[in-house]
Structure 1
């Protein structure tokens, strides 16, 4: 009997250690993969490098990467483009807001690409971009101005793409897109 009592202490300690390792392993797996599983308040990184956080209705991303701005915004931006501010929210709908600057060397090509993708400038259309100090302001939008008529289906994405040129010739692009 005394011999069994001597081994009882180490067995209890070993059992406690095994339980601690199992619980710690579970917490490690949860903290490592919960964001990708969609668990609220856990973060994950998109395939294009943006850090996003889940909430109860979807997820949101602050400081969206240029690759994700291009992906979610359906835009072609040059390598020299710089994203200054951005936010993406996805629930059953989505919302993308970003401000991007393109250096003078790539400005004309980028502007032409935007015009081809989003259409003509709409004079007098309000914009979310602060256009103070910008010249040649152009707002391309379909939010309240779908001109396709009643026969054609409405676009599934509302957009407002605002461009303006800084004094140094750089193109500033304000992007606002959301699902209809």
Structure 2
């Protein structure tokens, strides 16, 4: 039995070969571009060095080879990383956070309004122990009065035995009565 082919005009027409190749190339380029965009957007979350991500509280962080650093730390991230809730009247002026394979450290500048400045110092002393007046103050506190500093290195007794983190703070009062506090908390 012989099969007859339909006449040439009845066969479906194919697109010209150059057009098919061009469409195929465009589809491949689009797939590669979409994959690359997805990977670069998520690379920071996956821990790829030098890629950025946004922390849980909204801080901007960048990965390093052994951890990550965060700048423009938000109040919620500061409170979470430092385990130090900010009382009313205290604002976070600036902060940074560094985490690597072995250590975590948050450094911040806090400003407490004049009405609550003394109660904030009491809270610091209750949490971290007494501070020492005098000494060499950080440059940020050069124009401040009532400078007080404390570190975990000087902690003694029960305070030192129960300590799981290292910390230091320096605080002073400016001409308006507001308290500026520089605090570093690490593990």
- Do the structures match in fold with TM over 0.5? yes
Instruction: Determine the structure 1 residue equivalent to 2:122.
Output: 112
List structure 1 segments (4+ residues) > 6 angstroms apart after TM superposition: none
Is 1:57 equivalent to 2:57 in the alignment? no
RMSD: 2.4
In the alignment, is the contact (CA less than 8 A) between 2:92 and 2:110 conserved in 1? Answer: yes
Runs of 5+ unmatched residues, structure 2:
1-11
Structure 1 residue runs without a partner (length 5+): none
In the TM superposition, residue 8 of structure 1 has moved relative to its aligned partner by: 1.3
- Cα distance change on mapping 1:108 and 1:146 into 2, 3 Å: closer
TM-score, L = length of structure 2: 0.81
C-alpha deviations, 1:128-154, integer Å up to 9, x for none?
463212122222321x223138xx756
- Equivalent residue for 1:136? 146
Deviation at 1:28, TM superposition (A): 1.2
Length, aligned pairs only: 174
The partner residue of 1:35 within 35, 40, 44 is 44
1:158 and 2:186 are equivalent in the alignment: no
Kindly name which structure, 1 or 2, has the bigger radius of gyration based on alpha carbons. Answer: 2
Q: TM-score, length-normalised on structure 1?
A: 0.84
Q: How does 1:2-151 map to 2 (within 5 A)?
A: 7-91=16-100, 92-123=102-133, 128=138, 130-142=140-152, 144-148=153-157
